[in-house]
Amino acid sequence: MTNTVRWGILGTGRIARDFATALHDTPGATLAAVASRERTTAEAFGDELGVSLRLAGYDSLAACADVDLVYIGTPHAMHAENALAMLAGGKGVLCEKPFALNRAQAEQVVALARSRRVFLMEAMWTRFMPALAEAKRILASGVLGEVSQASADFGFAATGGPEARLFNPALGGGALLDVGIYPLSITTYLLGAVESVRAQAELGPTGVDLQTVFTLRHASGALSTCACSLKARTPGLLTVSGRDGQLRLDAPFHRAPTVTLTLAGESPRAIPTPYLGNGYVHEAIEAQRCWTEGMIESPAMTHEQTLHLMGVLDEIRHQVGVRYPGD
């Protein structure tokens, strides 16, 4: 095994470009290959981002001997199928969020990774950012006293017709899976597993949710309110509140440049939390560490945590009436 981890990128959309860019800033990483359904898009991606090996068809990446880890950046509805193919080819997998369309799909992927003893992780990049590590440190210090509430939002004004990825149910469209996963994942990480959830949503003409608001009761006893939208440009903040003060992951909270601590009787104090590159570097470093050490999951984003979150997403969609093909 060499000291350099050879990455393959599956998909050539915006988020695949963002991750490929991050690999140039990731110690010990080399971007070895890109695969697309069409050779022309793989060639254009390779020219833009300096990837020498451009592959037509996803199966060719699974069989490529020059790749160790694969980042999956395809539309949501393809995640499970793509992950299964890469794992079957013996590749470690970093799969973009949401991990799958539902828990049943996610269970199949996790089962294969475990049976083959191959690394698998959901690419929830916020989990590995310095801001979240600082938030965990502050909460563990007890300075907020008993923590009982949190709130988080993520929304933007999306454009596109009914066939566009964000509005197309066949592609796993909707606010919940695209951006609602962020407040769900991070509040759960900070406050504990979800014991119950209540949700309301506004559905669009194609049947996906244009905006969803949900409340969570966590295992810690704390409550959180989470909102996501494809219609509104929301503040993008996450705040955790306790008896003695509050801690805020400043906007945009999923890649917060600072966290602000406000204790009773004191002025707010902003704590810088700079991150490497465009932010995706940190999850790439963690994936490489786990793969190099022969681990099949990250302790910061375990298989069970991913399955738990997928189950909560299923329950929210059931409550608001969003259905995808195969549900």
**Active-site positions?**
97
Which of 158-162's residues contact partners 24+ apart within 8 Å by CB, and which partners? 158/230, 158/231, 162/205, 162/206
238: closest CA among 230, 229, 247? Answer: 247
DSSP code per residue over 65-113: TT-SEEEE-S-GGGHHHHHHHHHHTT-EEEEESS-SSSHHHHHHHHHHH
Crossing angle of helices 181-191 and 303-320, rounded to 10°: 130
Distance of alpha carbon 86 from alpha carbon 263, whole angstroms: 48
DSSP code per residue over 24-59: TTSTTEEEEEEEESSHHHHHHHHHHHT-SEEEESHH
Crossing angle of helices 103-116 and 79-88, rounded to 10°: 10
What's the DSSP call for residue 301?
A: B
